[in-house]
Amino acid sequence: MKLTPYNNASTAAITKRALVIGGGIAGMQASLDIADAGYEVVLVEREPSIGGHMIQLSETFPTLDCSQCIMTPKMVEVSQHPNIRLMTYCEVEDVTGDVGQFDVRIRKKAAYVDREKCTGCGLCVEKCPTKVPSEFDLSLGKRKVIYVPFPQAVPPKPVIDAENCRFLTSGKCGVCKKVCEVEAVDFEQTDTMIEERVGAIVVATGYDLYAKEKVAEYGYGRYPDVISGLEFERLNSASGPTTGEIRRPSDGKVPREVVFIQCVGSRDREKGVPYCSRICCMYAAKHAMLYKHKVPDGQAYVFYMDIRADGKGYEEFVQRGVEEDGTLYLRGRVSRVFQHGDKIVVWGVDTLAGKKTEIAADMVVLATAVVPAAGSRKLAKALDIVTDEYGFYTEAHLKAHSVESGKPGILLAGCGQSPKDIPDTVAQAGCAASKVTALFSASEVGGSLLDLPMRFTASKSLRE
Ligand SMILES: Cc1cc2nc3c(=O)[nH]c(=O)nc-3n(C[C@H](O)[C@H](O)[C@H](O)COP(=O)(O)OP(=O)(O)OC[C@H]3O[C@@H](n4cnc5c(N)ncnc54)[C@H](O)[C@@H]3O)c2cc1C
């Protein structure tokens, strides 16, 4: 089939290979869908493993499925799919060309380990004498300097953290090299550049949470027992630093009263971002519920502005937390969070009861704003696509072309476009993949595809 141009624009051949940037659930799903349709995929992930944030989660709303049980087989499927070339610890540097024929330069970062030779035996990690805070456990736990980020990592091969490696910084140590039987440790390794030609690109780079310093007024970064929602996920995870027991970071005690605060940075025109982060109402309800399951005599409080539980089964989930697990919801903003003895005191207003509230809690969990992943603007520039004022990738048309970027052949999936939960992320990734396979089903690309998003630029912006 040849797609007929609707104007006189020239046509071009299509390279039927896709690039997917970002190996979270969005990028993994898009890769699998494109690969299952019979097309090759190059999946580029900048971390040493795929999995994104979802592999950090303990259980997921609204069904409380174990996140790792969903993710682990999917991650293995991605790595073993004959049509997927997995490139972890790599970053896209530069993209030229157009739909059908993009030329991509990818930086393969020096891992100081030949990951082809490495058998993943783990001896180097075991013998490495230096420990540093683990990024995967958000510094609540430690990892070695030669490390696999988490036990289920894909690929299960280590990288060396050059900044903290004693051999690379001072020429001392080198234990990992000495114990490696297959001689995979290579301190001479440098970054290398790889070039790939692809016909379409799916951008699935996901999100970060608001930086600690931006929400310092809640004591985050100052008091160890004020943590983020993602940190709570790691505390609750069986593979986390407390093997799933809810223990507060300062002294390891089981917290008897926990305050969950929503909209920390979100929906805050003065100090934060004006948009709703969409997932916090649900994960705060989940956290309160999971906490109560682990600490049956404990009490969870949730400070909220209003509850946005608009997915399938979501409202029922929130109600279940209130009715079965006794979560106490307090409608109002928090005015102050401070340490008093070994308690974290939270002052707020219960606007429904019309009175001030004070809770002397053992731990406080903040639902901090969802923001685009670091580097999203730089990547958008390399791809020649547009971001909004916050750095989320802008779709060609919010209603009619919500997964297309403004540039033909470049599709968007997941939280890099806007904050969303896992069901919406997976659905959007499938949609982006189907746009790619539709493009690849044509023999050449012409004016209709080249001009597609332009036909919708009359769409009103959100502010109009
Ligand atoms: C505390 C918390 C609890 C949650 N609980 C739930 C829940 O119970 N149920 C639910 O439905 N949702 C939940 N969510 C939401 C869920 O995490 C997201 O919907 C999902 O992870 C989005 O996936 P993603 O692939 O878009 O992004 P991410 O998971 O962020 O993955 C993006 C990937 O892209 C990589 N990347 C970034 N930039 C680049 C680059 N330039 N080059 C290459 N790779 C790059 C990243 O390293 C990462 O691997 C929760 C979120 C939080 C914060």
Which of 349, 369, 389 is the C-terminal boundary of a domain?
A: 369
The end-to-end CA distance of the chain, in Å, is 40
pLDDT in tens, 415-443: 999 999 999 999 999 999 999 999 999 98
Q: Is residue 242 part of a domain?
A: yes
Q: How far is the CA of 373 from the centre of ligand 1 (A)?
A: 9
Separation of 68 CA from ligand 1 center, angstroms? Answer: 13
Burial class (CB in 10 A: 0-12, 13-18, 19+), 84: buried
Per-residue pLDDT of 58-81, as tens digits, reads 999 999 999 999 999 999 999 999
20 within ligand 1 shell (Cβ under 6 A): no
User: Are residues 394 and 340 located together in one domain of the fold?
Assistant: no
If asked whether residues 138 and 197 sit together in one domain, one would say no
Give residue-wise pLDDT tens across range 199-212. 999 999 999 999 98
Same domain membership, residue 291 and residue 160: no
Domain check: are 314 and 166 in the same one? no
Helix (H, G, I), strand (E, B) or coil at 449: helix
Quick one: average pLDDT of 320-346? 97
> Is there a single domain that holds both residue 350 and residue 303?
yes
**Model confidence at 447: pLDDT above 70:** no
116 assigned to some structural domain? no
Q: Return the pLDDT at 10.
A: 65
Is residue 19 in a domain? yes
What mean pLDDT value characterizes the chain? Answer: 94
In a domain, 7, yes or no: no
**20 and 83: one domain?**
yes
**Of all protein residues, whose CA lies closest to atom 8 belonging to ligand 1?**
60
Per-residue pLDDT at 171 = 96
Residues 229 and 329 in one domain: yes
Please count the structural domains in the chain.
Answer: 3
48 lines ligand 1 (CB under 6 A): no
Tell me what pLDDT residue 153 has: 98
Is it the case that residue 46 has pLDDT exceeding 70? yes
Q: What's the CATH number where 382 sits?
A: 3.50.50.60
Query: What pLDDT is recorded for position 459?
Result: 42
Can you tell me the distance from the alpha carbon of 57 to that of 55, in angstroms, rounded to the nearest whole number? 6
220 and 342 housed in the same domain: yes
Domain identity same for 335 and 227: yes
Residue 444 is predicted with a pLDDT of 83
pLDDT at 443: 81
pLDDT tens-place string over residues 260-297: 999 999 999 999 999 999 999 999 999 999 999 999 99
- Alpha-carbon span 356 to 334, nearest angstrom: 10
Q: Note the pLDDT of residue 2.
A: 46
The response to whether residue 57 sits with its C-beta less than 6 Å from ligand 1 reads yes
What integer is the mean pLDDT of 303-329?
97
Do 161 and 268 lie in one domain? The reply is no
Classify residue 461: in a domain, yes or no: no
The model's confidence at residue 135, banded by pLDDT at 50, 70 and 90, is very high
Q: Which of 463, 454, 347, 436 lies closest to 41 in space, CA to CA? A: 436
Ligand 1 within 6 A of CB of 283: yes
Task: Identify the residue whose C-alpha is closest to ligand 1 atom 14.
Answer: 421
262/363 same-domain check: yes
Residue whose CB lies within 8 A of the most ligand 1 atoms, among 43, 420, 422, for a mutation test: 422
User: 196: Cβ below 6 Å to ligand 1?
Assistant: no
127 and 264 in a single domain? The answer is no
- With respect to residue 432, please indicate whether it lies within any of the assigned structural domains: yes
Nearest residue (CA) to ligand 1, atom 26? 414
pLDDT band at 327, cuts 50/70/90? very high
What burial class does residue 390 get, using C-beta atoms within 10 Å of its C-beta: 0-12 exposed, 13-18 middle, 19+ buried? Answer: middle
* Ligand 1 within 6 A of CB of 26: yes
Q: Which domain holds residue 221?
A: 211-369
Tokens 């903040």 belong to which residue?
A: 366
Mean pLDDT, residues 2-16: 63
User: Residues 398-413: what's their mean pLDDT?
Assistant: 95
Q: Is residue 250 part of a domain?
A: yes
- The domain boundary, picked from 341, 369, 397, lies at 369
**Structural domain contains residue 6:** no
Residue to mutate (ligand 1; options 29, 53, 67, 154; most atoms within 8 A of CB): 53
